[in-house]
Chains A and B, each alone.
Chain A
Amino acid sequence: MALQFEVVGRFNRARASKLTLPHYVVQTPMFMPVGTQGTIKGLTNSQLEDIGCQIILGNTYHLALRPGAELIDELGGLHKFMNWKRGLLTDSGGFQMVSLLHLADITEEGVTFQSPVDGKPMLLTPEESIQIQNKIGADIIMALDDVVRTTITGPRIEEAMYRTLRWMDRCIAAHKRPDAQNLFGIVQGGLDPVLRDICVRGLVERNLPGYAIGGLAGGEDKDSFWRVVAQCTAALPEDKPRYVMGVGYPLDIVVCSALGADMYDCVYPTRTARFGTALVPEGVLKLKHNAMASDERPIDSTCSCMVCKNYTRAYIHSLVTRDAMGSQLLSYHNLSYMMRLSKDLHMSIVEGRFPEYVRGFLRTQFPKGDVPQWVCNAMEVAGIDISSCCAPVPV
């Protein structure tokens, strides 16, 4: 184990923590931006540091392709290669395989697919994935899991869950650097509580440094989504970090944090920036809209990031349709927003005002009181009273 997890504040299930990793000490709840190919679209390391990013994700599948795991290892690991001084997390490569490559085939051995470079058949095994991740050298590495979409039903889900446990053992056996890298297990099991429970217990038995909740963020309905998160966070050990993969929208992060999750990753903030959309406390702001052309306010008057301090909506509007700098500025702002959200969650828990923070957040996003039912249900389980945010139900 190469980490220390210290809970520094609580409210019911929600917790704020200090997580010490080999390269950095992070505060949770925390959002991790995705830097697929060893960079976050158009932002320099010093900008990422200014924004407050603590851990960024590298994508094993892409990095193994280019520049290659051997090369990264030879040049001293991904931290050195990118010159990123804070935390890094790599995923197993499994998700890309399944989502990007229609011809991927999953067997007990591993994931077979067609190499996008030369069309030759290739096989990603748990051993291979861990070996590549050992070479890349991130602080946190992910086990290769058998991921199925939550929209699928039937015996495939059960098969995938048990295989995930078997692959977990192979990952553990293959992991050569447990003193420097933390191998997280991933809970699978679709939307079936029985399967999820078996998977959680199986992973907990293996006494891993941290646990992820996988297989969500793939189109399932929100009501099922939060219930799976709630079930897993209730069953996972208190003293280890919990990472909900592929989440996401600020609202989802607030709900999952209330239910006891600590870490999140998603391409949403940077991807939506490239479409001209900014994240603001009220929800989203579409900079391409004609109304923005003459709007001289900053994107968000409550935001103190470099973009909001220097540029108007009108100027960004003029950029977003025709210049890469538009999306770069929006990425900068959106990530600032996510890091501010992370910090606010952490501090409000530490300072004993988490419920007030949640209520404020919901009121700003839903000024008419139309908080979605799934959020109300989830907050009830989380023990947070949000009745003042919800409009009265018509009799």
Chain B
Amino acid sequence: MRLLSTKATCNSHGQDSSYFLGWQEYEKNPYDEILNPKGIIQMGLAENQLSFDLLESWLAKNPDVSGFKRDGKSIFRELALFQDYHGLSSFKKVMVDFMAEIRGNKVTFDPDHMVLTAGSTSANETLMFCLAEQGDAFLLPTPYYPGFDRDLKWRTGVEIVPIHCSSANNFKITEAALQQAYHEAEKLNLNVKGILVTNPSNPLGTTLSLEELNLLVDFVNGHKNMHLISDEIYSGTVFNSPGFVSVMEVLNNRFSDRDQAIWDRVHVVYSLSKDLGLPGFRVGCIYSENDTVVAAATKMSSFGLVSSQTQYLLSVMLADKKFTRNYLVENQKRLKRRQKMLVSGLMRTGIKCLESNAGLFCWVDMRHLLKSNTFEAEMELWMRIVYDVKLNISPGSSCHCSEPGWFRVCFANMSEETLKLAMKRLKSFVVELSSSSDTDNGENKAHSKRNSLTKWVFRLSSRDHRHRDQEER
């Protein structure tokens, strides 16, 4: 008899992915301006570190909340004992207001339809448990956030079937791609329970067009028992036109009768990790008009409730509408500026990015730097960038991109100086790459390091590739 469960001994947790291994290399040799100026610069972590000062100054003006006080009276006991999985109603009220504000108040949300979860990691998994089971699949447009492989599949037994998007049309979701993915699932004997999209997209940094949203809604509406999950975790990071359109807005405009079946099948996931830059606080939520889903998800949230201490802090902070309004505007301004810095820095090196209007990263086109149009070449380039250039960026294959040569590069988790340094390093590397007669010069430097990684890298890239082959068959 096996000692541990199958789940414990398989690797569906996805941590063997290059996405996470890059982080590990960074952890071994992290850049620090003073202590380790030659270390690896972390550009693989989609964190928003640009606007903490705004949060800190709010805290300075609101001392009550820190000492577990409300109107000068201690509410410590009340909070310490509060474990109701319905969540603090004052917190849910301000969350729905905040979400509405981000959507220009074109949509309103009902706090009774919101389920609080420990981050969107938990929200996405909980939705899978509620909507699907072993033998079912969700369709996801590629490229997608590598964490979904763990969050959606690991403990639930649900499968992901990719909707292949291509650079030819800027990775937009097409009807043909949707249909192909659906048929692919059928061939694999999987029952398609729904589609999950991230809007704005990770890793693309783009918002879904109205056309794409309508396509998705129509597709789901046209299939029995099919759901649409819209992970809108980056909705507050939209800094440029075209603006953000939530799937809820589309539903509002097209289906005024709330009794129509589609209302029971569209669900939104949100979190404060990206918009407010608070990933440590584990604040996520599911929003659904389907009462059964809300009821089931609420019970499941017992496995990952939000700390009442944190709920309380945020209930006060987000109730300050002047603060939230100012925060959203200022944060977006800073993101826009930072993105521009990255894009122009890359441009000067002859590297283009997918045009983006949101998110904490750019989708960078390094196809022209590949030795060959293969994932092996992408891995080789990635290793050089990690070890020689000392930048941790995320290779497109870890995001299940169907074309080699794309990388996700984050820009909001470091200082301006660090970003400039990163651009400088990259420029030197590209110059060296184009001027060297063959690539042996560069390879020798990190040869020994690469040797130790070669085995898993090629196993990894061929596994990704094989997986793709299987689907295309």
User: Are A and B physically bound partners?
Assistant: no
State the A residues within 8 Å of B (CB): none
